[in-house]
Every structure is written in structure tokens, then in C-alpha cells.
């Protein structure tokens, strides 16, 4: 908590109106059994603990003012079945669930909570891939994302990502439906 205590001291007299939790680290591309426990713990601490503690620090001031914006970053992969590495998507799904719960709990508080579930953005975290129509530059992505704050509870922040996510969910839903039918037809 040393780092968080330093942050708490540094922001003690600030009037924070917007909190954007983007903290994230990924894991090596390995199967779950090949990952190191220390790396798993660090991923969970950074991706889940940091947004949780930061919201806990900032929210009381926003509630007193009856206004504020908290944006938590989930990830496109938190909505998918990703066999490797499974911990990163799970931590990003945690951020989405936490934000949805905050939306319900504080719905009449004047504080806006939003989850962002981006796809790939051309950044170092995405191995610095080149920007394209489906993979925006950080600047293009940010410009698109800012237009959604206060309008929707959950967004990918970029229309091509919305289309990718929708397609992925439909494909997964169809696959799951087919598995359910096969299970029923095969009997006990």
C-alpha cells in the first residue's frame, strides 16, 4: 500500500473530477500451467487492485460534490473465451463487473461510471502493431472514446471495435447454442 498511500497524500487537496483507470499488465503468452505464480499475482494486483483502490480513494470527494466521472478499462478479450493467457482477460472482466456494480449502487449519486472494453489499439501493449481501420492509433482511439463518456455505460470506444465485439459475441453464442443442442441430443 506504500504506493497508494503516496498517491493519497499527493491528491489529498486536489478536486478530482475525472478518474480514468487504465492500469494493466499482460502476461507472457503461455498456457496457465506454465505461468509463474508471482507473475499471476502481479497481474491480478495491478489489473484489479489498482482500479479498485483508486476508486475507493477518489469516490468520496465525487459523492460529496454529487458529480464526477470514473472510467475503468476492461478489454475486448474479457468478453471472449481466450485460452491463453486466461488471467489477463479475467482481470479485465473484473473491471467491467466492478463498474456495473458501481453503476447500480451509485445510480443517483451524480457520478458517472463507464466501462471501456477496447479491442487492439496500436500501442506498445499490442506489440506496437501498425494502425489500420480495425486497429486505431492511440490518438484516434482516444478521440473516438471521449465522444461516448456520459452517453453509454459500456463501450468499446471505437465503432470498428463495436462491430468486432458484436461479431465475436454472435459467433460465440451460436457455438454455445450448438454445443447445448449436441448435449441435449446425446442424452445423459
Name the nearest CA neighbour of 25 among 124, 122, 137, 96.
124
CB neighbour class for 76 (10 Å; exposed up to 12, middle 13-18, buried from 19): buried
CA distance 128 to 137: 10
Q: Considering all CA atoms of the chain, what is the largest pairwise distance in Å, rounded to the nearest integer?
A: 65
The catalytically annotated residue of 29, 88, 106, 158 is: 88
Active-site residue 106, yes or no?
A: no
The HSE-up count of residue 150 (CA atoms within 13 Å, CB side) is: 8
Catalytic residues: 88
Amino acid at each position: 500500500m506504500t504506493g497508494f498511500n503516496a498517491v493519497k497524500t499527493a491528491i489529498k487537496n486536489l478536486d478530482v473530477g475525472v478518474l480514468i483507470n487504465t492500469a494493466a499488465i499482460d502476461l507472457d503468452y503461455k498456457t496457465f500451467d506454465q505461468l509463474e505464480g508471482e507473475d499471476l499475482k502481479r497481474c491480478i494486483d495491478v489489473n484489479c487492485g489498482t482500479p479498485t483502490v483508486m476508486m475507493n480513494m477518489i469516490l468520496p470527494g465525487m459523492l460529496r460534490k454529487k458529480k464526477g466521472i470514473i472510467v475503468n478499462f476492461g478489454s475486448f478479450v474479457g468478453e471472449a473465451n481466450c485460452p491463453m493467457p486466461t488471467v489477463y482477460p479475467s482481470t479485465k472482466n473484473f473491471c467491467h463487473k466492478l463498474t456495473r456494480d458501481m453503476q447500480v449502487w451509485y445510480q443517483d449519486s451524480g457520478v458517472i461510471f463507464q466501462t471501456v472494453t477496447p479491442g487492439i489499439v496500436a500501442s506498445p501493449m499490442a506489440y506496437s502493431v501498425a494502425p489500420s481501420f480495425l486497429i486505431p492509433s492511440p490518438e484516434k482511439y482516444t478521440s473516438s472514446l471521449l465522444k461516448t463518456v456520459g452517453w453509454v455505460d459500456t463501450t468499446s470506444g471505437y465503432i470498428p471495435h463495436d462491430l468486432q465485439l458484436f461479431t465475436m459475441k454472435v459467433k460465440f453464442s451460436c457455438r454455445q447454442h450448438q454445443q447445448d443442442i449436441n448435449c441435449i441430443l446425446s442424452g445423459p
